């Protein structure tokens, strides 16, 4: 069942969204070559708790940390570790969620650590741009396929692939609610967007093929061909006239 959120629920999700956006921002503020993924995770955890919220990912489906920190060919669900040291030129994705009064937020940002020695700026800008294009399609009367198609039609001409096995989702009293929000789709198809629907939109791009595989830790999802990947995510509400990005500062 797709659930629509009341205005007061959306205001609480905005608070959860502000908190997670500040957690991700503070982690990136100190991110530099030589730091470990666990140190970044610790920052997200303390920022979320300091503001009276709960980490949404910790313990969910058994995930052992506050943030997913994924590097280069790792697309999503990287487990933070004291042994994982970030190197100059890495693409680092921090994906994180917070809970306020039982309501969730979900947010991901990718950045280059240090200098762009591996020429990753284009995949990062394209991923971010595709999320912006998708958000512009969020308004009552549009359909889910319009959102998916906005991502796909922005990304394809730039020569990148889109991950198919992991998609965006509805969000509210659970992290993952229906509907699924694929990053590939046809315009004017799928469910109609209505005020109160809140979606986590999250394009995942690769510089090679779209196929993925899971590492032995049973969490980290990587590109099958080892190519670079990038991921951005916002939690966005459908309003009476358009969109409202909840995961921002
Ligand atoms: Mg996420
Ligand atoms: Mg998500």
200 CA from centroid of ligand 2 (Å): 5
**Ligand that comes closest to the CA of residue 20:** 1
Give pTM, 2 decimals.
Answer: 0.98
The alpha helices in the chain, defined as continuous H runs, are: 7-30, 37-50, 121-136, 144-155
Q: Torsion-angle region of residue 30: left (phi > 0), alpha (psi -120 to 50) or beta?
A: alpha
- Please give the pLDDT value at position 132: 98
User: From CA 128, how far away is CA 144, in angstroms rounded?
Assistant: 19
CB 149 within 8 A of CB 186: yes
CB burial string 156-178: b at 16+ within 10 A, e below: eeeebbbbeebbbbbbbeebbbe
pLDDT per residue as tens digits for the range 7-43: 999 999 999 999 999 999 999 999 999 999 999 999 9
Q: 181 pLDDT band (50/70/90 cuts)? A: very high
Instruction: Give the model's confidence band at 179: pLDDT under 50 very low, under 70 low, under 90 confident, else very high.
Output: very high
User: Which tens digits make up the pLDDT trace of 3-16?
Assistant: 999 999 999 999 99
Q: Which ligand is nearest to the CA of 170?
A: 2
Average pLDDT, the chain: 98
| Cα angle, residue 107 at apex, residues 104 and 218 outer, rounded to 5° | 90
What residues does each domain of the chain span? Answer: 7-245
- Cα of 189 vs centre of ligand 1, distance in Å, is 25
Residue range 7-245, CATH number: 3.90.230.10
Residue 40, CA distances (Å) to 90, 99, 121 in order: 14, 19, 21
Average pLDDT value for residue range 83-110: 98
């Amino acid at each position: 069942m797709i659930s629509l959120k009341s205005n007061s629920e959306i205001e609480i999700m905005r608070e959860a969204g502000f908190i997670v956006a500040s957690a991700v921002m503070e982690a990136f503020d100190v991110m530099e070559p030589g730091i470990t993924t666990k140190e970044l995770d610790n920052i997200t955890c303390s920022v979320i708790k300091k503001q009276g919220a709960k980490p949404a990912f910790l313990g969910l489906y058994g995930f052992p940390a506050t943030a997913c920190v994924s590097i280069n060919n790792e697309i999503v669900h990287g487990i933070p570790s004291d042994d994982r040291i970030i190197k100059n030129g890495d693409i680092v994705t921090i994906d994180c969620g917070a809970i306020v009064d039982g309501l969730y937020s979900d947010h991901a940002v990718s950045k280059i650590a240090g200098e762009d020695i591996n020429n990753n700026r284009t995949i990062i800008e394209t991923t971010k741009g595709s999320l912006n294009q998708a958000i512009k399609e969020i308004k009552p009367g549009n359909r889910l396929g319009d959102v998916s198609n906005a991502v796909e039609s922005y990304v394809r001409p730039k020569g990148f692939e889109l991950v198919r096995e992991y998609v965006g989702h509805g969000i509210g009293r659970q992290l993952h609610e229906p509907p699924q929000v694929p990053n590939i789709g046809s315009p004017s198809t799928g469910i109609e967007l209505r005020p109160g629907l809140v979606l986590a939109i999250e394009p995942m791009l690769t510089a090679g093929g779209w196929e993925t595989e899971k590492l032995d830790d049973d969490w980290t999802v990587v590109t099958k061909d080892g190519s670079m990947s990038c991921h951005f995510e916002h939690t966005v509400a459908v309003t009476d006239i358009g969109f409202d990005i909840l995961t921002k500062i």
